[in-house]
Amino acid sequence: MRAESAMWKKVRPVLVAAKLDPVRVENPIHPGTPDVNLCTGLWMELKCLPTWPLRETSLVRIPHFTREQRVWLYRRWKYAPGSTLLLLEVRADKQWLLFDGDVAVKIVGQSTTAEHRRSARAVLHVSELSELPKILAEKTRGSEEKTRGNDLEPVCTGSFVHDEFTPCPVHDAEVVRR
């Protein structure tokens, strides 16, 4: 079983219990699309490491965190702050680190263990994984800049095509009034 599949088997029940309706996404048409979409509009990339590097000064490498994934996380964060995340499991330490999308593209797989821990939005032990939904519900840095207004407004998840009457904070579509 692939590491991310095993990771999904651990995190999915937590997200389901929190009524976040997690959907696993495999998108060969648009490389870089994150692994999981939640009913809140959040997108989450899953990454797994067997262990941290032996030396604290060594860079953490995640070769399967692709350029396309980095671009997708950053682009979506740019247009909808707070909408993308990366969840990193470090198996040997039974540790889970949650990163905001804009931070993940700069830090994950490109800096030291200490920098990863310092830059994470949350660092959880596997026994604390049930706290993840509460952390996801907290306002993220930057999400206050562009809010949706009331909760009834539509939010683009990137999974459908808009008509000209649908406001879209992601694609900056204007509402056309007749």
Upper half-sphere CA count for residue 36 (Cβ side, 13 Å): 23
To the nearest whole number, what is the mean pLDDT of the chain?
83
Q: How confident is the model at residue 56 (pLDDT cuts 50, 70, 90)?
A: confident
Q: pLDDT tens digits for 76-130?
A: 999 999 999 999 999 999 999 999 999 999 999 999 999 999 999 999 999 999 9
Q: What is the reported pLDDT for 86?
A: 97
Question: What percent of the chain is predicted at pLDDT more than 70?
Answer: 78
pTM score, whole prediction: 0.78
Mean pLDDT confidence for 38-66: 94
* Fold annotation for 3-137: Trna Endonuclease; Chain: A, domain 1 (3.40.1350)
Q: What is the DSSP string of 52-77?
A: --SSTTSBP--TTS-HHHHHHHHHHH
Q: So where are the chain's domains?
A: 3-137, 148-178
Mean pLDDT confidence for 50-60: 93
SS3 content of the chain, % helix, strand, coil (to 5): 30, 20, 50
Q: What is the reported pLDDT for 31?
A: 87
Residue 16 CA: distances (Å) to CA of 8, 56, 84 = 12, 36, 19
Q: What is the maximum alpha-carbon separation in the chain?
A: 64
Q: How confident is the model at residue 4 (pLDDT cuts 50, 70, 90)?
A: confident
The residue written with tokens 């994470």 in the block is 120
Tokens matching residue 143: 């999400």
For the chain, state the CA radius of gyration: 17
Q: Looking at 14-23, 84-93, 128-137, 169-178, which range is the least confident one?
A: 169-178
Residue 172 pLDDT > 70: no
Residue 168 pLDDT > 70: no
